[in-house]
Amino acid sequence: MDELSKSTTIAISGMKVQSQRLRLISENLANSDSLAQTPEGLPYRRKVMTFKNELDRATGTSLVKVDKVRADSSEFQRRYDPKHPAADRDGYVLAPNVNPLIEMMDMREAQRSYEANMNVINASRSLLSRTIDMLR
């Protein structure tokens, strides 16, 4: 496998994991206001993703893959809302441990990484196209 194909393969694997990361961030944002409906219930818990390098033996390249998606173990937020059905005896409701600002920063980082990998693919295509043009 030539170097252009390897770089494209690596970039594609990066785009795949960043796409999965964007979906997970979107899920977190969509559920950032999902409260429990009973006093004993728990609200939505933020999910986080970890990555790993995996050797592709066919190409001899190290590709990025999703390692795990796990629940974030940080504390739930507490909001004062004594009329909510999930309020405790003090009037507090557990709220998701999702901080929209952090999710938006993570989303921007994933988007930039996705774009960087797309630029690698475009550069590879351009180099290949120019090489073919020179051979004509």
Buried/exposed 71-92: b ≥16 CB within 10 Å, e otherwise: eeeeebeeeeeeebebbeeeeb
The reported pLDDT for the residue numbered 33 is 94
Residue-wise pLDDT for 71-83, tens only, equals: 999 999 999 999 9
Measure the N-to-C terminal CA separation of the chain; round to a whole number of Å.
23
Residue 67's pLDDT is 97
Query: CA 129 to CA 100: how far, in whole Å?
Result: 43
Please count the other Cβ atoms lying within 10 Å of the Cβ belonging to residue 5: 13
pTM above 0.85, yes or no: yes
Whether the per-residue pLDDT at 60 is higher than 90: the answer is no
Residue matched to tokens 């507090």: 92
Average pLDDT of the chain is 94
The Cα angle at residue 69 between residues 65 and 72, in degrees rounded to 5: 140
Q: Please give the Cα distance from 134 to 97 (Å, whole number).
A: 56
